[in-house]
Chains A and B, each alone.
Chain A
Amino acid sequence: MSERISLLTAERAEEWLLKPGVYFMQGNIASAEAALIAGCRFFAGYPITPSNEIAEHMARRLPQVGGYFIQFEDEIASINAIIGAAYGGVKSMTATSGPGFSLMQEAIGLAAMIEAPIVIVDVQRAGPSTGIPTLVGQGDIMQAKWGSHGDYEVVAFLPNSVQEMFDLTIEAFNTAWEYRVPVIVLSDQAVGQMIERLKVPPLDEIKVVERRAPTVPPEEYLPFDSRYLVPPMAVAGEGYRFHVTALTHDDRGYPSTSHEVSKKLISRLVRKIRENEKVIGRYEAIALDDAELVVVAYGITSRSALRAVREARRDGLKVGLFRPITAWPFPYWGLREAVDRGASILVVEINMGQMVHVVREYYNNLVDIHFMPWAPGSVPRPHDILVKIKEVYGG
């Protein structure tokens, strides 16, 4: 038994939210506005290019809806603070880029382990290390999934437009609070800082998921009740007087070194996402039905790839585009039909090979899987991709 509850709701907060309509807006700012609509009332972050517009916008906008903004001393404090706020029952987020995202990895593991719903916007830039802070990269695909130690699952969305910075930020909050899991909006410098059309629907048409709170009395409440895939979540101050630890813990939240307890907990942490992969995972398929070559691209790269696919079609080549909208879970099932037909695959991404490994995991040896590496710092032009398409097509 559970009920949906939201906390920290200021009076007339909705009057301060972005009004329905059509806007010309930057991706980062669209993400911040979407977070407010999703119910985010706490932002903690540390300055880093190219995500700063999110923090700056939240610093101005959050107090207007009765929320709190703190610029912390580093990214580590920021992510731990939003985990604390989430356990206060308040929707919370941070925004960062590669180096800051690396610093956050230990606490992403904490959030996964104690099932704290948080949202992280990672506006990817060119790496490794300091790299080129002002220019694009897609080098955090693997880090988003495997960056913390141990076994856990996260969800990561891949927006490719200002509209999706808005839509997928709302979906990120909904997914975080539905599954009690850290969710990453895995954007990139180009999508985060581009300015384009945004359509904001009426608020009552936007689905917002609230915390599923327990309804049992405190003496019956188990904070990590393994009878549920996603246990109802009590928060501090409600009288449940529950214990949370990042140590391996039993249903009561008490530490344990038992292998049975470890098996039960860790299996559930991954099962709650894996068993819902087709509910959470999303993709877009363009001209895939008769495609003999499928280009796999995401984020800003998918915009360039779409143009290349259209030009290839104009030249008579049967080429389609498969765009993962979630990196994690990877929507492998969306490629199944094309693979069964014998279509080959070309993965294009702004890195030296990350998502291509995932494609190979599912379809290696079944069809030809080609890869076009692209060093970070620029977006491959449609022409660059078209040349590669022609090189591998029919080969």
Chain B
Amino acid sequence: MSGGLRLGLRTEPIKSLLRMERFPHIWCPGCGIGTVVKCYVEAVLESGIPVEKHVVVSGIGCTSRAPGYIKLDGFHVIHGRAIPFAVGLKTVRQDLEVTVIAGDGDILAIGGNHFIHAIRRNDDINVILVNNFIYGMTGGQYGPTTTLGSITTTSPYGFIEGSFNVPYLAAALGANFVARWTPLHTKELTAAIKEMFKVDGFAIIEVVSPCLIYGEMNNLPPLEVMKIFRDRTVIDHEADLSKIDIDLRDPRKPIVLGNFVRRSRPSYQTLARELIKRARGGG
């Protein structure tokens, strides 16, 4: 397969970073999360950072089950709090490469305040936000990325709220790295995760993902969504982020992907190290 070159770089096979004894996993057929796990694990293996220095943190939900299948130091904590847990860990252990893998509900609804403040502080953590437009694990309730008109178990007459445009929000808050990919774009997603590891500061990738639960209620079965990812995606790294909101249900609307933002604002943790030097009179 086309991963031959990358295989050559690996020192360990992917399985060495999976908790194989925990399979089969809990995800539905057609779900995109498993692909995200594979891309993350590949990126870890190719990162050049020792695997024992990678830590994965998650909250609650379908995506947040990911650390349970990844053979790294992994923390599956409470709903919405993966980011502050990760920030505490990273601040005191800056030798670690800390990545949060969680869903749209966990990070943007219950955890929304932590999300905006972690970007404002510019905490040196990586966030892989899998956006499936719905609360899958709890049975299909609407969330902060559900799009107008969508049918969910709590919007049986159609969703009437606005939705977060994740890259636009993260960029406005000052994130150092902002990207959006899909589980169809595995090469680009893996590369973006590897790039995230190198960023000093807040880095986020939104992974737009198919969901069986959302699909069943909105006539968008996962295979259909993968076709949309093939036919309606546009890679535009320079895109005007204010115009890249997603609506899978609108056939005229493209899904814009890319590595949109690269900034080098010093991270909170870098500035905190310098602060310690000043406080101790060392410069």
Contacts and interface: CB of A to CB of B under 8 A. Distances in A.
The answer to whether A and B belong to the same complex is yes
Interface of A: 7-8, 10, 16, 41-42, 44, 60, 63-64, 66-68, 70, 72-74, 76-78, 80-85, 87-90, 92, 106-107, 110, 114, 236-247, 254-255
B1 interface: no
Interface residues of B, number: 42
A88 to B, nearest CB: 4
A80 B275 CA distance: 23
A393 B59 CA distance: 56
A11 B236 CA distance: 49
Interface string B19-43: 1001000000000000000000000
B88 A44 contact: yes
Interface string B95-117: 11000000000000000011001
A31 to B, nearest CB: 20
Contacts of A68: 91-92, 272, 276
Contact of B89 (A84, A114, A242, A245): A84
Contacts of B83: 77
B73 A241 contact: yes
Contact of A64 (B55, B121, B279): B279
B109 to A, nearest CB: 14
Nearest to A243: B74
Closest 7 CB pairs of A and B: A81-B88, A84-B88, A63-B279, A84-B89, A84-B85, A77-B84, A88-B93
Contact of B68 (A81, A82, A243): A243
Contacts of A255: 68, 76
Contacts of A81: 84-85, 87-88, 91
A61 B5 CA distance: 51
B52 interface: yes
Contacts of A41: 92
Given A77-B113, A255-B76, 18 more contacts: A10-B280, A63-B278, A66-B280, A70-B88, A70-B91, A73-B113, A80-B77, A84-B87, A106-B78, A107-B81, A237-B55, A239-B52, A242-B73, A243-B68, A244-B75, A244-B76, A246-B78, A254-B22
A369 to B, nearest CB: 38
B89 A87 contact: yes
